[in-house]
Chain A
Amino acid sequence: MISIGAQQFKLLEKLCNALAVSGDESEVRKIVLEEVKPFADEVKVDALGSVLVTKKGSGKNRLRVMLDAHMDEVGFMIISDDGNGFYRFEIIGSIDVRHLAGKQVIVGKDHLPGVIGTPPIHLVHDTSGKIELSSLSIDLGSSGKAKVGEYATFATKFKRVGASIFSKAIDDRIGIAILIELLKHAPSNIDLCLAFSVQEEIGLRGAKVAAHYFNPDLAIAVDSTPARDLPSQNDEENVSYNTKLGLGPAIYIANSSTIDDPRLVRFLEETAVKEKIPYQFRQPGGGGTDAGSIQRARAGVPVVSVSVPHRYTHSPISIARVDDWKNTFNLLHSALKRITPAALR
């Protein structure tokens, strides 16, 4: 079993603090390219900006296994400049507007500091209504300059807190970190095809063409999924928590984008049991991963998704557990090492 050390933390911190909103993933792409080049047989940046990495195995009957994690995060785009340092913005991906007022943001390639302010409570007579996006602006200070079309995201800095990680964009930088680590420990029984894909948050777009390019025998989407394991504040038990922190990697069975291939679901479960790695099934339900677009690429690809659970998705600060990260890596690593064409029979 591989454990998470200082080097892995440093990389995840760098990935999480990067600004890479769907549509311009350059900052994360740069980090990924630096990390993968020494270990890859082929590296390609495709027409949409995804990084596609191949590491060939040796021996006969090798499966082509595609692993996918998305580089993009939800965020904002500047859509107008009022000339006084206030900028209107649009949301990219799904962010609950109730997470916006009173937050620090970073804008553009230089990470200009900005804040999303709101009129003071002293001047607001009714605080029961939501603060709508149309009434919010990013304030860059009196001489701050941004351009229409520039991207922005929450300014949260990665922090390790005991057994937990506090950060923005854990979805899906933790998946990116896992894929990089898997490349560094690539098993030789397979051809490993890694898609560091773009535009997941706006419709699983990068993975679609990445799967076409790789033409894999099977694929695993490595993502991060919400844990809604909070106490109930009504009279009903919390029965739709999706996942819980600390219970290990979340193996998918079905969501809005795919019904995961039952053979691969079983294979991952067997691997976890055999290797004594904690795991949980993500409660079947809504949501989606890149597996949805990979499954229906070319003549079809058997897919399954595995996620590191995190709380407070698409908010300024998400929380994940270090052990879930470690166990997700180890489940995937163990699965890749033992996979053969028999898994698909």
Chain B
Amino acid sequence: MTDILPFLKSLISVSGISAYETPVANLIEAKWKPLVDETSRSRLGSLHGLKRGSGKSPRSSVLIATHMDAIGLMVTQITDGFLHITEIGGIDPRVLPGTPVVVHASGGDLPAVIVMPPANLLPDGEGKKTIALKYLLVDTGLSAREVSKRVAIGDLVAFNTEPVEMSGENVSGHTLDNRASVAALTICLEELQFKSHLWDVWAVATTQEEVTLGGAKTSAFQIKPSIAIAVDVTFGRSPGVNDWESFPLGKGPTLGIGANMHPFLHKRFAELAEKLEIPFAVEAMPASSSTDAETLQLAADGIPTMVLSIPLRYMHTPVEMVALKDIQRAGRLLAEFAASLQADFFEKIVWDVS
């Protein structure tokens, strides 16, 4: 098993807020190039890596999607050198005061901090409770004059907490949702170097999952895979989160069950994981999985789809946490699944799985 930690750390240290994924796409492409036969970008910026199968042409194909975009913030207004911000993706305003950020300003990156104005500077009553996002400000430490020269409305503001190695082989930082899954897919590609697989494997780092699921939808249409797998993160168990809606860290990935997932694929994954003695949990995803699977399934004439998830604590905060072991297990399971696909697997997919 290769050590994925350095790559994971670099993945969460590079920018890639929804619709502005190019920096992280470049990093992933450099890592994937030696692992796949060709890479390309979609019209919406998703990264496609094709690893050709050894089966007879025309071959079936599996698309494995991990979204690479991050939630973040954007400058809406500048007042006396302080920046007003809005959100890109879902952000809890209660975690923002005191959070280190970087302003991706046109004139270069600026370290900054999100600050909570004192109550006397806010409308009546607004200062006593949670400060709403519209009243929070970003301070770059620069003078108003310098800020007006360097920062423009529309500039991106990203979390800037440093990656931290925690005890028990856990890693904490921002944007582990969903770069942890990108790392897992990378492990899958590494493992496939030493396995033969009949099917084509499309590794796809999708864009804009956090806002519209637009990257996965369009890539699936373009590639038209036989089957698709979305790899994302799920709620890790932590204080204040109920046991029935969360999964412990370090006990393996989850296999989704519900409307977005084809039951045959779910069963195959579960059987394979058991055979390989890879621990996993079954995750109920009634109606929507809130992952790329939602749109992968609906692409073109419809695609049998599956969801694999990595438990992650404190989702969408600057201090998300995952277990490296779960990333490695997810990567291995994906590789074993891809390698297990027989030439006629697609024809064997049935609805009654009993």
Contact = CB atoms under 8 A, between A and B. Distances in A.
Q: Do A and B come from one complex?
A: yes
Contacts of B97: 96, 98-99, 315
B141 interface: yes
Contacts of A316: 98-100, 113
B94 A127 contact: yes
A315 B98 contact: yes
Contacts of B99: 102-103, 316
B5 interface: no
B13 to A, nearest CB: 15
Interface string A69-86: 000000000000000011
Given A119-B240, A228-B118, A238-B121, A102 B95 contact: yes
B349 interface: no
Contact of B172 (A104, A119, A166): A104
A112 B167 contact: yes
B168 interface: yes
Interface stretch (B59-67, B127-135, B327-335): B127-135
B271 to A, nearest CB: 28
A179 interface: no
Interface string A142-155: 11110000000011
Interface residues of B, number: 64
B241 interface: yes
A6 interface: no
B249 A142 contact: yes
B199 interface: no
A127 B135 contact: no
Contact of A141 (B118, B170, B290): B170
Contacts of B317: 101-102, 117-118, 120
A25 interface: no
Contacts of A312: 98, 113, 115-116, 139
B57 interface: no
Interface string A103-123: 110000000111111111111
Given A159-B111, A166-B111, A166-B113, A113 B165 contact: yes
Interface in B82-127: 82, 90-100, 110-111, 113, 115-118, 120-124
A119 B241 contact: yes
A113 B92 contact: no
Interface stretch (B182-190, B292-300, B308-316): B308-316
A240 B127 CA distance: 15
A68 interface: no
A135 B238 CA distance: 11
Contact of A102 (B80, B123, B318): B318
B76 to A, nearest CB: 13
A86 B130 contact: no
A115 B80 CA distance: 33
B121 A233 contact: yes
A234 B126 CA distance: 10
A5 interface: no
A98 B116 contact: yes
A164 B110 CA distance: 12
Contact of B314 (A115, A144, A161, A228): A115
Contacts of B313: 117, 139
A311 B114 CA distance: 12
Contact of B161 (A104, A233, A311): A104
B130 A98 contact: yes
A123 B309 CA distance: 17
A131 interface: yes
Contacts of A143: 167-168
Q: Which of A102, A130, A228, A233 has the most CB of B within 10 A?
A: A102
A187 B144 CA distance: 39
A228 B168 CA distance: 42
B51 to A, nearest CB: 33
Contact of A118 (B92, B111, B141): B92
Nearest to B313: A117
Contact of A161 (B82, B122, B130, B140): B140
Nearest to B124: A234
A53 B174 CA distance: 45
B67 to A, nearest CB: 15
A140 B235 contact: no
Q: Which of B95, B124, B241, B318 has the most CB of A within 10 A?
A: B95
A226 B153 CA distance: 29
B215 interface: no
A59 interface: no
A317 interface: yes
22 contacts: A85-B167, A99-B97, A102-B95, A104-B161, A112-B167, A113-B165, A118-B92, A118-B240, A120-B235, A120-B315, A120-B316, A128-B130, A141-B166, A230-B121, A231-B79, A233-B121, A234-B121, A234-B124, A238-B120, A238-B121, A311-B115, A312-B116
Given A115-B319, A120-B241, A230-B115, 17 more contacts: A98-B130, A103-B99, A115-B164, A115-B321, A120-B92, A121-B92, A127-B92, A131-B94, A137-B239, A140-B167, A142-B249, A145-B167, A154-B98, A228-B118, A228-B120, A233-B122, A234-B122
Interface of A: 85-86, 96, 98-99, 101-104, 112-124, 127-131, 135-137, 139-145, 154-157, 159, 161-166, 228, 230-234, 238, 240, 246, 311-312, 315-317, 319
